[in-house]
């Protein structure tokens, strides 16, 4: 593994969208890791919910988001690296060049990656979108979701690269080009 790309940003700013486009661009040299996956898996198991519906980007996920945040915060308060570690456990690090972590939400997530892999392995990337853009993509302010640390903890952080994802571009080409050039990925 050469680099780990930690992608963060507010809801509906395009973290998944850009991560998928970047994955296509890097072809079989990269994988996407989602910290939310082990969270959703454990939560679904606990409550006997449909894990596939939880992992997809639909209303089912939104319905359980608030409770899941509360429960996962409790787990993190005892071990801040718990879900990062669980998510990275399945990554085939020897056979790929890049790991794209598409849902970084907290300072402690970034801290865990720095401590575990070293600063030289990590690039932090912040995606931003105007409120109007996010609304057009389906975002609605939700108390208990948009005003809690899982959404706001990184608001005052500094990132290696910040990219605006406002212009709708189905291929995501321009943004990916900027990302590749700025971080000198090849």
The binding site for substrate consists of: 165
Sheet of 3-9, strand order? 30-33, 98-104, 3-9, 122-128, 161-164
Q: Binding of ligand ATP at residue 164 (CB under 6 A)?
A: no
Of 6, 8, 9, 112, the residue at the interface with ligand ATP (CB under 6 A) is: 9
Tell me the HSE value of 36 on the side-chain side, using a 13 A CA sphere. Answer: 20
Q: Min. distance of Cβ 68 from ligand ATP in angstroms?
A: 13
Q: Binding of ligand ATP at residue 40 (CB under 6 A)?
A: no
| Residue 67 per-residue DSSP state | H
Of 15, 34, 76, 123, the residue at the interface with ligand ATP (CB under 6 A) is: 15
> What is residue 17's three-state secondary structure?
helix
User: Judging by beta carbons within 10 Å of its beta carbon (0-12, 13-18, 19+), is residue 110 exposed, middle or buried?
Assistant: buried
C-alpha 107/C-alpha 150 separation (Å) is 10
Q: Please identify, among the stretches 23-31, 77-85, 115-123, 164-172, the one whose residues bind ligand ATP according to the rule CB under 6 A.
A: 164-172
Of 4, 5, 17, 31, the residue at the interface with ligand ATP (CB under 6 A) is: 17
Q: Binding of ligand ATP at residue 155 (CB under 6 A)?
A: no
Contacts of 92 (CB under 8 A, 6+ apart): 31
Of 51, 114, 169, 180, the residue at the interface with ligand ATP (CB under 6 A) is: 169
Q: Output 97 or 164, the one with its CB closest to ligand ATP.
A: 164
Q: Please identify, among the stretches 78-86, 90-98, 162-170, 176-184, the one whose residues bind ligand ATP according to the rule CB under 6 A.
A: 162-170
Count of residues making up the chain: 186
Inter-residue contact 53 to 47 (CB < 8 Å) = no
Q: Min. distance of Cβ 108 from ligand ATP in angstroms?
A: 18
> What is residue 163's three-state secondary structure?
strand
Inter-residue contact 100 to 33 (CB < 8 Å) = yes
Q: Binding of ligand ATP at residue 38 (CB under 6 A)?
A: no
Binders of ligand ATP in range 50-89 (CB under 6 A): 57
> What is residue 32's three-state secondary structure?
strand
Task: Please tell me the count of residues contacting ligand ATP according to CB under 6 A.
Answer: 15
Positions in the binding site for ligand ATP (CB under 6 A): 9, 11-17, 57, 137, 165, 168-170, 172
């Amino acid at each position: 593994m050469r680099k780990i790309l930690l992608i963060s940003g507010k809801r509906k700013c395009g973290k998944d969208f850009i991560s998928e486009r970047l994955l296509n661009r890097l072809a079989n040299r990269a994988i996407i890791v989602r910290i939310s996956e082990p969270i959703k898996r454990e939560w679904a198991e606990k409550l006997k919910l449909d894990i596939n519906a939880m992992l997809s980007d639909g209303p089912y996920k939104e319905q359980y988001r608030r409770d899941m945040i509360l429960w996962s915060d409790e787990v993190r308060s005892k071990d801040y690296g718990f879900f990062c570690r669980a998510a990275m456990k399945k990554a085939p690090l020897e056979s790929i060049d890049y790991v794209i972590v598409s849902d970084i939400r907290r300072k402690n997530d970034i801290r865990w990656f720095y401590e575990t892999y070293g600063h030289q392995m990590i690039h932090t990337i912040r995606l931003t979108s105007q409120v109007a853009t996010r609304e057009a993509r389906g975002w609605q302010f939700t108390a208990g979701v948009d005003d809690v640390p899982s959404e706001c903890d990184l608001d005052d952080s500094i990132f290696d690269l910040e990219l605006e994802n406002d212009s709708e571009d189905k291929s995501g080409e321009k943004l990916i080009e900027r990302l590749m050039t700025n971080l000198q990925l090849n």
